[in-house]
Amino acid sequence: MLVLTRKVGERVLIGDQVAVTVVRIQGNAVRLGIDAPPEMAVVREELAQPAAAKTAGDVSQPAAT
Residue-range domain boundaries for the chain: 11-55
Provide the pLDDT for residue 56.
Answer: 63
- Write the pLDDT tens digit of every residue in 20-59: 999 999 999 999 999 999 999 999 999 988 666 666 655 5
Q: Count helices and strands (H / E) in the chain.
A: 1, 3
- For residues 40 and 49, give the distance between their C-alpha atoms in angstroms, rounded to a whole number: 17
Radius of gyration of the chain measured on its C-alpha atoms: 16
**Is pLDDT above 70 for 17?**
yes
Provide the pLDDT for residue 49.
Answer: 80
pTM of the model: 0.70
